[in-house]
Amino acid sequence: MKAVTEYLYRLLSRLPPKTRDKGIVSRARNRLRHWEILRRTSPLTPNPAYHNAIKDRDFKVIIVSPIYKSFPVLAVSLIEQTYDNWELLFVHDGPSGEIGDIAKSLIESDKRIRFIETEQRANDWGHTPRQRGFQEVESKIEGDFLVVSNSDNYHVPGYVEKMLEAFDDSTDAVYCNMSHDYYGWRNFDTRLEYSFVDCGCVMARRDIAIAAGWNDNSYEGDWKYVSDLVDQCGTKRFKKLNATLFVHS
Protein backbone atom coordinates (compact mmCIF):
# COMPACT_ATOMS: atom_id res chain seq x y z
CA MET A 1 0.00 0.00 0.00
CA LYS A 2 1.39 3.38 -0.99
CA ALA A 3 1.85 6.03 1.67
CA VAL A 4 -0.75 8.79 1.79
CA THR A 5 1.85 11.38 0.76
CA GLU A 6 2.76 9.46 -2.39
CA TYR A 7 -0.88 8.81 -3.23
CA LEU A 8 -1.84 12.48 -2.89
CA TYR A 9 1.23 13.59 -4.87
CA ARG A 10 0.33 11.27 -7.75
CA LEU A 11 -3.28 12.44 -7.60
CA LEU A 12 -2.32 16.13 -7.88
CA SER A 13 0.15 15.30 -10.65
CA ARG A 14 -2.72 14.16 -12.85
CA LEU A 15 -4.16 17.67 -12.97
CA PRO A 16 -3.66 19.77 -16.14
CA PRO A 17 -0.29 21.60 -16.19
CA LYS A 18 -1.89 25.05 -15.91
CA THR A 19 -3.38 23.95 -12.57
CA ARG A 20 -0.73 21.49 -11.39
CA ASP A 21 2.30 23.75 -11.78
CA LYS A 22 1.00 26.99 -10.31
CA GLY A 23 -0.01 28.54 -7.00
CA ILE A 24 -1.23 26.52 -4.07
CA VAL A 25 -1.34 23.23 -5.99
CA SER A 26 2.31 23.51 -6.98
CA ARG A 27 3.30 24.34 -3.40
CA ALA A 28 1.23 21.41 -2.10
CA ARG A 29 2.93 19.01 -4.54
CA ASN A 30 6.37 20.18 -3.42
CA ARG A 31 5.47 19.80 0.24
CA LEU A 32 4.06 16.30 -0.34
CA ARG A 33 7.21 15.35 -2.25
CA HIS A 34 9.36 16.55 0.65
CA TRP A 35 7.32 14.59 3.17
CA GLU A 36 7.65 11.48 1.03
CA ILE A 37 11.42 11.94 0.79
CA LEU A 38 11.67 12.20 4.57
CA ARG A 39 9.42 9.17 5.04
CA ARG A 40 11.53 7.01 2.75
CA THR A 41 14.82 8.12 4.28
CA SER A 42 13.79 8.05 7.95
CA PRO A 43 15.58 4.69 8.63
CA LEU A 44 18.98 6.27 7.81
CA THR A 45 19.27 7.79 11.31
CA PRO A 46 16.28 6.56 13.35
CA ASN A 47 17.07 8.66 16.45
CA PRO A 48 19.03 11.79 15.47
CA ALA A 49 21.03 13.24 18.35
CA TYR A 50 20.13 16.77 17.29
CA HIS A 51 16.49 16.07 16.45
CA ASN A 52 15.04 19.13 18.20
CA ALA A 53 17.65 21.54 16.80
CA ILE A 54 17.05 20.23 13.27
CA LYS A 55 13.29 20.39 13.70
CA ASP A 56 13.55 24.02 14.88
CA ARG A 57 16.01 24.89 12.08
CA ASP A 58 18.62 26.01 14.62
CA PHE A 59 21.61 24.93 12.55
CA LYS A 60 22.78 27.01 9.61
CA VAL A 61 24.53 25.20 6.76
CA ILE A 62 26.88 27.15 4.48
CA ILE A 63 27.56 25.93 0.94
CA VAL A 64 30.56 27.31 -0.94
CA SER A 65 30.73 26.87 -4.70
CA PRO A 66 32.73 28.23 -7.63
CA ILE A 67 30.78 29.20 -10.72
CA TYR A 68 31.79 30.24 -14.23
CA LYS A 69 29.05 31.25 -16.68
CA SER A 70 27.20 27.95 -16.10
CA PHE A 71 23.55 27.49 -15.15
CA PRO A 72 23.48 27.02 -11.34
CA VAL A 73 21.96 23.55 -10.97
CA LEU A 74 23.27 23.60 -7.41
CA ALA A 75 21.02 26.54 -6.53
CA VAL A 76 17.96 24.73 -7.89
CA SER A 77 18.76 21.66 -5.79
CA LEU A 78 19.21 23.73 -2.63
CA ILE A 79 16.00 25.69 -3.10
CA GLU A 80 14.26 22.28 -3.17
CA GLN A 81 15.81 21.08 0.10
CA THR A 82 13.60 19.83 2.92
CA TYR A 83 15.78 21.84 5.31
CA ASP A 84 15.73 25.57 4.60
CA ASN A 85 18.28 27.18 6.95
CA TRP A 86 21.19 27.37 4.54
CA GLU A 87 23.25 30.01 2.77
CA LEU A 88 24.86 29.48 -0.62
CA LEU A 89 27.94 31.47 -1.53
CA PHE A 90 28.73 31.48 -5.25
CA VAL A 91 32.19 32.77 -6.18
CA HIS A 92 32.48 33.54 -9.87
CA ASP A 93 35.85 32.75 -11.42
CA GLY A 94 36.71 36.24 -12.69
CA PRO A 95 34.38 39.06 -13.80
CA SER A 96 30.82 37.79 -14.13
CA GLY A 97 29.57 39.98 -16.97
CA GLU A 98 28.95 37.01 -19.26
CA ILE A 99 26.80 34.98 -16.89
CA GLY A 100 23.40 34.32 -18.47
CA ASP A 101 20.26 36.28 -17.62
CA ILE A 102 18.35 33.16 -16.58
CA ALA A 103 21.15 32.09 -14.24
CA LYS A 104 21.39 35.62 -12.85
CA SER A 105 17.66 35.86 -12.22
CA LEU A 106 17.66 32.52 -10.41
CA ILE A 107 20.55 33.56 -8.18
CA GLU A 108 18.88 36.87 -7.39
CA SER A 109 15.51 35.23 -6.66
CA ASP A 110 16.53 33.84 -3.26
CA LYS A 111 17.99 35.95 -0.45
CA ARG A 112 19.88 32.91 0.88
CA ILE A 113 22.14 33.00 -2.19
CA ARG A 114 25.12 35.35 -2.18
CA PHE A 115 27.23 36.09 -5.27
CA ILE A 116 30.74 37.50 -5.38
CA GLU A 117 33.53 37.33 -7.96
CA THR A 118 37.32 37.19 -8.11
CA GLU A 119 39.22 40.00 -9.79
CA GLN A 120 40.49 37.80 -12.59
CA ARG A 121 39.86 34.33 -13.96
CA ALA A 122 42.13 31.63 -12.53
CA ASN A 123 40.81 28.65 -14.51
CA ASP A 124 42.19 26.19 -11.92
CA TRP A 125 39.30 23.75 -11.45
CA GLY A 126 37.47 26.31 -9.28
CA HIS A 127 40.07 26.21 -6.51
CA THR A 128 40.91 29.92 -6.40
CA PRO A 129 37.19 30.82 -6.08
CA ARG A 130 36.88 28.24 -3.30
CA GLN A 131 39.82 29.82 -1.47
CA ARG A 132 38.14 33.21 -1.79
CA GLY A 133 34.93 31.63 -0.54
CA PHE A 134 36.65 30.25 2.56
CA GLN A 135 38.04 33.71 3.30
CA GLU A 136 34.55 35.19 2.95
CA VAL A 137 33.03 32.58 5.24
CA GLU A 138 35.73 32.99 7.88
CA SER A 139 35.37 36.77 8.02
CA LYS A 140 31.71 37.41 7.22
CA ILE A 141 29.39 34.36 7.36
CA GLU A 142 28.29 32.77 10.61
CA GLY A 143 27.04 29.21 10.56
CA ASP A 144 27.38 25.73 12.00
CA PHE A 145 28.24 23.40 9.13
CA LEU A 146 29.92 23.79 5.74
CA VAL A 147 29.72 21.99 2.38
CA VAL A 148 31.91 22.63 -0.67
CA SER A 149 30.29 21.84 -4.01
CA ASN A 150 30.19 22.92 -7.68
CA SER A 151 27.60 24.98 -9.50
CA ASP A 152 26.64 22.08 -11.79
CA ASN A 153 26.30 19.51 -8.98
CA TYR A 154 22.98 18.27 -7.61
CA HIS A 155 22.19 17.55 -3.97
CA VAL A 156 18.98 15.54 -3.60
CA PRO A 157 16.21 17.36 -1.69
CA GLY A 158 16.88 15.52 1.58
CA TYR A 159 20.66 15.97 1.50
CA VAL A 160 21.02 18.80 4.05
CA GLU A 161 18.52 17.39 6.54
CA LYS A 162 19.76 13.79 6.38
CA MET A 163 23.41 14.80 6.69
CA LEU A 164 22.59 16.91 9.75
CA GLU A 165 20.71 14.02 11.31
CA ALA A 166 23.84 11.87 11.15
CA PHE A 167 25.81 14.23 13.40
CA ASP A 168 26.25 13.81 17.13
CA ASP A 169 28.69 15.18 19.67
CA SER A 170 31.39 12.70 18.61
CA THR A 171 31.09 13.51 14.89
CA ASP A 172 32.83 16.38 13.09
CA ALA A 173 32.12 15.38 9.48
CA VAL A 174 29.62 13.22 7.61
CA TYR A 175 29.92 11.87 4.08
CA CYS A 176 27.47 10.03 1.84
CA ASN A 177 27.48 7.94 -1.33
CA MET A 178 27.16 9.55 -4.74
CA SER A 179 26.37 9.16 -8.38
CA HIS A 180 29.33 10.37 -10.44
CA ASP A 181 29.66 11.21 -14.13
CA TYR A 182 33.25 9.91 -14.17
CA TYR A 183 31.95 6.47 -13.21
CA GLY A 184 29.08 6.15 -15.69
CA TRP A 185 26.49 7.66 -13.33
CA ARG A 186 26.38 4.49 -11.29
CA ASN A 187 25.85 4.49 -7.55
CA PHE A 188 29.29 4.95 -6.02
CA ASP A 189 30.15 3.57 -2.59
CA THR A 190 32.43 6.29 -1.23
CA ARG A 191 35.29 5.92 1.20
CA LEU A 192 37.95 8.24 2.61
CA GLU A 193 40.56 7.56 -0.06
CA TYR A 194 41.83 9.47 -3.07
CA SER A 195 39.42 9.17 -6.05
CA PHE A 196 36.80 7.47 -3.88
CA VAL A 197 35.07 10.55 -2.47
CA ASP A 198 34.11 14.02 -3.72
CA CYS A 199 34.06 17.11 -1.51
CA GLY A 200 30.36 17.58 -2.31
CA CYS A 201 29.65 14.35 -0.41
CA VAL A 202 31.06 15.84 2.78
CA MET A 203 29.46 18.10 5.38
CA ALA A 204 31.78 19.30 8.15
CA ARG A 205 31.43 21.51 11.16
CA ARG A 206 32.19 25.06 10.04
CA ASP A 207 35.11 25.60 12.40
CA ILE A 208 36.73 22.30 11.39
CA ALA A 209 36.34 23.16 7.70
CA ILE A 210 37.81 26.63 8.15
CA ALA A 211 40.73 25.20 10.13
CA ALA A 212 41.38 22.70 7.34
CA GLY A 213 41.14 25.42 4.69
CA TRP A 214 41.42 25.04 0.92
CA ASN A 215 45.12 24.63 0.31
CA ASP A 216 45.68 23.00 -3.07
CA ASN A 217 45.06 24.47 -6.53
CA SER A 218 46.02 21.34 -8.44
CA TYR A 219 43.74 18.71 -9.96
CA GLU A 220 43.83 16.84 -6.62
CA GLY A 221 42.58 19.89 -4.68
CA ASP A 222 39.20 18.36 -3.82
CA TRP A 223 40.85 15.32 -2.24
CA LYS A 224 43.42 17.47 -0.44
CA TYR A 225 40.56 19.30 1.29
CA VAL A 226 39.01 16.02 2.48
CA SER A 227 42.45 14.80 3.54
CA ASP A 228 43.01 18.02 5.50
CA LEU A 229 39.65 17.52 7.23
CA VAL A 230 40.79 14.05 8.25
CA ASP A 231 44.02 15.57 9.61
CA GLN A 232 41.97 18.05 11.64
CA CYS A 233 39.62 15.62 13.34
CA GLY A 234 40.73 12.04 12.59
CA THR A 235 38.78 9.31 10.82
CA LYS A 236 36.99 8.30 14.03
CA ARG A 237 35.12 11.61 13.97
CA PHE A 238 33.92 11.03 10.41
CA LYS A 239 30.65 9.20 9.89
CA LYS A 240 29.46 7.44 6.73
CA LEU A 241 25.80 7.81 5.71
CA ASN A 242 24.91 4.89 3.45
CA ALA A 243 22.68 6.74 1.04
CA THR A 244 23.23 8.33 -2.37
CA LEU A 245 22.38 11.97 -1.67
CA PHE A 246 24.76 13.69 -4.10
CA VAL A 247 25.14 13.73 -7.89
CA HIS A 248 28.43 14.93 -9.34
CA SER A 249 28.10 16.16 -12.90
How confident is the prediction for the chain on average, in pLDDT?
92
Q: Which residues contact 190 (CB under 8 A, 6 or more apart)?
A: 175, 176, 177, 178, 196, 197, 198, 201, 240
Shared domain check, 168 and 68? yes
Which structural domain range is residue 141 located in? 46-248
pLDDT at residue 13 is higher than 50: yes
Under the banding of pLDDT at 50, 70 and 90, the label for residue 5 is confident
Shared domain check, 169 and 61? yes
pLDDT, one tens digit per residue, over 143-163 is: 999 999 999 999 998 999 999
CATH number for the domain harbouring residue 228: 3.90.550.10
- Residue in 242, 227, 236 with CA at minimum distance from that of residue 166: 242
Shared domain check, 27 and 125? no
Average pLDDT on 170-198 reads 92
